[in-house]
Structure 1
Amino acid sequence: MFTQEFLRTQLASRIRLAHPGRGDEAPDPGPLTAELLTELASAAEAATTTVTVVLRRFEPQVYAESVLRYALSLPDTLRASWLRAYTRTVFLTGNPANLTGRFGFHYVSQDGSMAWTAPDDAGERSPLRRLLRLFPTAELPPLPARLRVPATAGTPEHDGPAPVREARLYAVTTRVSLAAYLVHVHHVLAEAVIAQLIDEHTELTIHHVPQLDPADGPFDLLRVVPDPDAASDDQPETAGAGRLRAYAALTLTAGAS
């Protein structure tokens, strides 16, 4: 199990990256107190940059492949601002085929079941938000223990095989709704692409696990957010900020095709 102190450190480093004035060049704000985390989390929550995803159905293999293809399709200018804008992702229920003529989607999945907008600051004012309902917070359906997601690159243009990275994503399934699963997996994969941990030559294996095991690390990326099911009054060391939980983690290993 991860300690709360370790998770607070992970959360604080992620939020400082997004919070104006608390980047790498900012002075150290001091101990990672509950009050500081509450302040930083509130600033992140107030961020307006949003990606809207329209889903007709959920299929885990197609979903993971499509998230990677979407993130890889973003131009460098949008990738550079993603982390600092603390970009949020909103999932809506709908059929992209009925909407593509009215909305300029940035990316549509190969099977047409999902469509993404480019990051923007429309937030709650998005016409899609007014037209469609939020994807339901349903129980997470049965998932395979492992999913293999092939590299998205086609035939390399240079001579010889392209170098291949191998990545493992561990996604928590205990006390996680389908809507939450979509968000956690999306954020880890998108941020891994933006941080250049994953590229078009990366082969990904997704492990669905009851909880994260530190023994599977060290992790290159960890998704840490407040646990909505934990009562903060039982955890005096996290009072005011809530108890934290790690929901997904990514680790890389070098490989060759």
Structure 2
Amino acid sequence: MIISQDLLRAEAARRLRDARPELAAHGDLLSMGGLTAARQELARAAEEPRTLTVCVLRSLDLPAWIRATCVFAQRVAPSAAAAWRRDFTRTVFLAGNPENLAERFTFSHVADDGSAAWCGPAPAEDSAALRRLLKLFTAPAGLPAAPPTVVDLPPAPGSERAPARQHALHVATAGVTLGTGLVHLNHLLCEAVLDGTLASGDRLTIRQVPSLAGLEGPFTGLRIDTSVRDPDRLQAYAALTTRATYRS
């Protein structure tokens, strides 16, 4: 199994149906026309999400942020997760220092080094004051290349340490800004944790590559969006596998 337009359409359609089953009534989600129509309706709805998460970033070290994001998602209550999934794990990234905000706002999770903190998932109005106070974390620079990096997710408190499950996290970098890359990774990681694909004690090997074209599955997670080069095609921006092979 390799990444193809058929595979990407099928996975994008599955994600839409799982989160919003009523979208199946909008036509054939496996066709690009039907999928585009459903995604356009979602884009309009996303302008006023009911449930969202806010991530405040002081600085960014990608492996550390990936680890902290997974820990945050592991602590989301099932009831909040269900509402958040209906809004497609919508997350707003803001630039700020969590330490300076601790007296005014209650965070759901703070990274061990204090570089990032999360509020929610919760009704959008709960974070309105925080979103008005801080600017968006846009990070227009390109997602940098990097050698493979291993991230170990911490074991659950009080649990016996089991053999780590091995995953590869593949991240496309060509034409992707750091800010956009965070959005793609956030969706993939949080949904993988909520689905049980990623769990406490697992090991992730991060592989940053220009493109995921030629990457072989099976895939345990895919982050898909419109291609940066062709609006009529889809592109995989991040993927999870249990092994890392590319077709030459």
Question: Do these two structures clear the TM 0.5 threshold for a shared fold by scoring above it?
Answer: yes
Which whole-Å CA distance do the structure 2 matches of 1:123 and 1:19 have between them?
Answer: 22
Which whole-Å CA distance do the structure 2 matches of 1:20 and 1:124 have between them?
Answer: 27
Residues 21-45 of structure 1 deviation map (CA, whole Å, 9 limit, x = unaligned): 24xxx68943633332123213332
What residue in structure 1 maps to residue 15 of structure 2? 14
Which whole-Å CA distance do the structure 1 matches of 2:157 and 2:71 have between them?
Answer: 16
**3-state DSSP class of the match of 1:53?**
strand
Number of equivalenced pairs: 238
What residue in structure 1 maps to residue 30 of structure 2? 32
1:66 counterpart letter in structure 2:
A
**3-state DSSP class of the match of 1:183?**
helix
What residue in structure 1 maps to residue 4 of structure 2? 3
Structure 2 vs 1, CA of residues 10 and 206 (structure 1 numbering), >3 Å: closer, same or farther?
A: same
**3-state DSSP class of the match of 1:32?**
coil
Taking the TM superposition and a 5 Å limit, the aligned residue runs for 1:89-128 are 89-122=91-124, 126-128=128-130
RMSD of the TM alignment (CA)? 2.4
1:41 counterpart letter in structure 2:
R
**3-state DSSP class of the match of 1:71?**
helix
- Whether contact under 8 Å (2:119, 2:127) holds in the other structure is no
- Whether contact under 8 Å (1:145, 1:209) holds in the other structure is no
- Whether contact under 8 Å (1:54, 1:92) holds in the other structure is yes
Structure 2 vs 1, CA of residues 147 and 128 (structure 1 numbering), >3 Å: closer, same or farther?
A: same
For structure 2, list consecutive stretches of 5 or more residues without a partner in the other structure.
244-248
* Offset of residue 124 of structure 1: 10
- Whether contact under 8 Å (1:222, 1:246) holds in the other structure is yes
What residue in structure 1 maps to residue 205 of structure 2? 205
Which whole-Å CA distance do the structure 1 matches of 2:81 and 2:52 have between them?
Answer: 13
**3-state DSSP class of the match of 2:165?**
strand
Which whole-Å CA distance do the structure 2 matches of 1:107 and 1:212 have between them?
Answer: 31
Which whole-Å CA distance do the structure 2 matches of 1:27 and 1:141 have between them?
Answer: 37
Which whole-Å CA distance do the structure 2 matches of 1:38 and 1:123 have between them?
Answer: 29
Calculate the TM-score normalised by the size of structure 1. 0.83
* Offset of residue 244 of structure 1: 1.2
What residue in structure 1 maps to residue 183 of structure 2? 183
Structure 2 vs 1, CA of residues 170 and 123 (structure 1 numbering), >3 Å: closer, same or farther?
A: farther
Residues 108-133 of structure 1 deviation map (CA, whole Å, 9 limit, x = unaligned): 11111101111123179711221111
For structure 1, list consecutive stretches of 5 or more residues without a partner in the other structure.
233-241
* Offset of residue 103 of structure 1: 1.1
What residue in structure 2 maps to residue 230 of structure 1? 229
Give 1 or 2 for the bigger CA radius of gyration.
1
Runs in 1 of length 4+ with deviation above 6 angstroms?
A: none
Which whole-Å CA distance do the structure 2 matches of 1:139 and 1:122 have between them?
Answer: 28
Residues 46-80 of structure 1 deviation map (CA, whole Å, 9 limit, x = unaligned): 14122111101111121111111111111222223
What residue in structure 2 maps to residue 237 of structure 1? none
Structure 2 vs 1, CA of residues 154 and 14 (structure 1 numbering), >3 Å: closer, same or farther?
A: closer
Which whole-Å CA distance do the structure 2 matches of 1:164 and 1:62 have between them?
Answer: 18
What is the identity percentage for the equivalent residue pairs of Structure 1 and Structure 2? 37
Structure 2 vs 1, CA of residues 208 and 67 (structure 1 numbering), >3 Å: closer, same or farther?
A: same
Which whole-Å CA distance do the structure 2 matches of 1:100 and 1:31 have between them?
Answer: 44
**3-state DSSP class of the match of 1:118?**
strand
What residue in structure 2 maps to residue 243 of structure 1? 233
Structure 2 vs 1, CA of residues 136 and 155 (structure 1 numbering), >3 Å: closer, same or farther?
A: closer
